Amino acid sequence: MTKANDLIAEYRNTGTLGVLPAGHFIDGAFSQPAHNRTMESFDPGSATPFVRFTAGTKEDVDQAVASSRRAFDAVWRDTAPVERSRILQRASALILENLDLLAVVETLDSGKALQEAMGDVRGAARAFEYYAGACDKLQGDSFPLGPDYVGYTIHEPVGVTAHVIPWNFPISTAARGFAPALAAGCSVVAKPAEQTPFTALLLADLLFKAGLPAGVCNVVTGTGVETGAPLTAHPDVDHITFTGSVQTGRTVMKAAAEDITRVVLELGGKSPVVVLADCDREQALSGVLGAIFENAGQICSAGSRLVIEKSIHDDFVAELVARAKALKLGHGLSNPDVGPVNSSEHLAKINGFLDRARSDGAEIVTGGSVTEDPATGRGWFFEPTIVDAVSADNELAREEIFGPVLTVQIADDADHALALANDCQYGLVAGIYTSDFAKAHRLARRIDAGQIYINEYFAGGIEVPFGGNKKSGFGREKGLEGLISYCKTKSIAARIG
């Protein structure tokens, strides 16, 4: 397999990579689009385009959905679970064999640090490994109806599933949707974000090489308007998994309503990290830092609100500021502490929040400005930023910034911290740092969020169900609940007496 250093050298010498796929992936092959149109993909670390890719249309979506429908009806739904398991296991192994390629491509496409991209690729392999083990354990229940009846349920695959993949975690989000859908016996049509098209295409090709029948996993690239909207509105799609903004999620729900299509929505977040006075200080400091500055804060579940007890606020925030100032920025391929944000448009959005905060007299204790790669003077970068003593009604505490910006809210005690944590339109995740086990679990029960981390932010893995409450969406991905999302439960009752 091509090693990361060789790929990095090729990119630095040529400005591109020769292994990048062209066209959509439909029916087991890279195919030409209905209209021969392309668009640029940018390297966020240098703010320059590095390759062109296919800009698809409704006709391409129609072709992909028809292919997945044929493959589902004729082959995949009736493939023995043990055989589906073997294919997913082989796919997991192939992902790891291609770790360097997938990680370098992910870094160039998304901007994230190479070590983070490698972690994402390993996580994708683990997702296929996990669901490979679940294929032949997907079983129903029996009901005690008495001696004259037999009653039971079976889980049937829902059918053709559409996956709209975001730009912040392209291969991770693709894998956590593809793997359970395929394990359940569904077929897949995916539309990756127009900023990050390539790892979804490469993943579909690896699945085919692992033995997945042609048409079971198809990928169409292009804009949200010209490919995403036709896919989510397609009458022959049986289920939609969407990860993205609340605004776009509403649009997806409206499109799905026309045909009563099932949806799982993983939307925004403004997740609190509650740090109480009795916490392990070092554990909390490192956890809070990683929760907001990993992937330059471009994580729906980022710990973007520090809710901290007043008695430890001053020293804790002072140390956090010192550590934030020491973080190194740089191109993702140089393995920095913090990489660029994904696009110029998103950089401007983040900067707008801080400009308004500055005008309102916010206490920006570090960062707060657009910057660049110190090694090259290029790229879309924003300084690691901490804004202290923010009121609960300020937009910095209420709106998702989706960047390396931490808002600090000061709590009088644990009850006040709980009130601040829940005073939000979102409910995706929350973190708690305390040495009091009972207090931690009381807070965990009362914070309105889909997942709670105690004394380690981002704890857990593919085994743990993930999803939001309130405007963070509904439905669950990951874990066995994620598998059930791609199933229809059928109840059967028979009189035998």
For 100-126, the three-class secondary structure string (H helix, E strand, C coil) is HHHHHHHHHHHCCCHHHHHHHHHHHHH
Task: Give pLDDT tens digits for 437-475.
Answer: 999 999 999 999 999 999 999 999 999 999 999 999 999
Rounded to the nearest angstrom, the gap between the alpha carbon of residue 472 and the centroid of all alpha carbons in its chain is 13
How confident is the model over 305-324, as a mean pLDDT? 98
- Torsion sign over Cα 77, 81, 83, 85: positive
Q: Of the listed 186, 217, 279, 300, which one is catalytic?
A: 300
Rg of the chain taking only CA atoms, in angstroms: 23
pLDDT of 36: 87
217 is catalytic: no
- Residue 341 in contact with residue 382, Cβ under 8 Å? yes
CA distance 406 to 305: 6
Show the CA angle centred on residue 264, arms to residues 488 and 171, nearest 5°: 110
- The residue type of 106 is E
| Cβ-contact 71, 403 below 8 angstroms | no
In the chain, the amino acid numbered 110 is: S
Whether residue 52 is predicted with pLDDT greater than 90 in this model: the reply is yes
pLDDT at residue 497 in the model:
83
What pLDDT score was predicted for residue 1? 59
Reported as a pLDDT band with limits 50, 70 and 90, residue 6 is very high
Pairing of strands 426-427, 469-470: antiparallel
Instruction: Tell me the pLDDT band of 248, cut-offs 50, 70 and 90.
Output: very high
- The whole-number average pLDDT for the span 188-202 is 98
Active site residue 266: yes
Selected catalytic residue, list 116, 194, 226, 266: 266
Whole-angstrom Cα distance, residue 470 to residue 448? 8
Q: In the numeric block, which tokens belong to residue 383?
A: 């300084």
d(CA 244, CA 166): 6
Q: By C-alpha distance, which of 410, 321, 303 is closest to 366?
A: 321
Task: For the chain, give the longest Cα–Cα distance.
Answer: 81
Distance CA 432, CA 303 (A): 11
Residues 6+ apart with CB under 8 A from 306: 272, 273, 275, 288, 317, 320, 406, 407, 408, 409
* pLDDT computed for residue 191 by the predictor: 98
Distance CA 433, CA 106 (A): 32
Q: pLDDT tens digits, residue range 129-176?
A: 999 999 999 999 999 999 999 999 999 999 999 999 999 999 999 999
Token pair listed for 425: 């339109």
In whole angstroms, how far apart are CA 225 and each of 251, 257, 265, 413? 11, 18, 18, 47
- The average pLDDT across 62-72 equals 98
Residue whose token pair is 């790929």: 7
**Alpha-carbon gap, residue 126 to 48, rounded angstroms:** 33
Confidence of residue 34 (pLDDT cuts 50, 70, 90): confident
Would you give the DSSP letter of residue 428? S
* 3-state SS class at 162: strand
Q: Does the predicted model carry a pTM greater than 0.85? A: yes
- Residue 371's alpha-carbon distances to 74, 117, 406, in angstroms, are 54, 22, 17
The pLDDT of residue 376 is: 97
Query: Do 291 and 431 contact (CB within 8 A), yes or no?
Result: yes
